Amino acid sequence: MTGQHPGSTPDDRPAPTSPAGAPAAGAPPETGDIVIDAALRDLAAAPEYDLDAQLEAGEAVHRTLQSRLTDLGG
């Protein structure tokens, strides 16, 4: 016996929940910076099957992060 109740399967278990304030599983993290958050959402929205779109979104995030870091440097 596996310790399961009769008739139950592992699929019957409720999905784990995220801690309060944490992004949902699969959601991009939120940084509190609206520009960076928007870039991360665009990256997450890039179709998995479209490598060109993923690369373009990744490069856009990279440029955004570099720009924000430059802004912090004065």
For position 7, what pLDDT does the model report? 55
Is 54 contained in some domain? yes
Instruction: Pick the closest to residue 72 from 28, 35, 23, 42 (CA basis).
Output: 35
Instruction: Pick the closest to residue 44 from 33, 30, 65 (CA basis).
Output: 30
For position 15, what pLDDT does the model report? 58
Domain that holds residue 52: 29-74
Is 15 contained in some domain? no
Is 22 contained in some domain? no
Is 39 contained in some domain? yes
pTM: 0.58
Q: Which residues of the chain have pLDDT under 70?
A: 1-26, 74
How many distinct structural domains can be found in the chain? 1
Instruction: Pick the closest to residue 40 from 49, 48, 30 (CA basis).
Output: 30
Is 60 contained in some domain? yes
Is 69 contained in some domain? yes
Instruction: Pick the closest to residue 43 from 15, 63, 24 (CA basis).
Output: 63
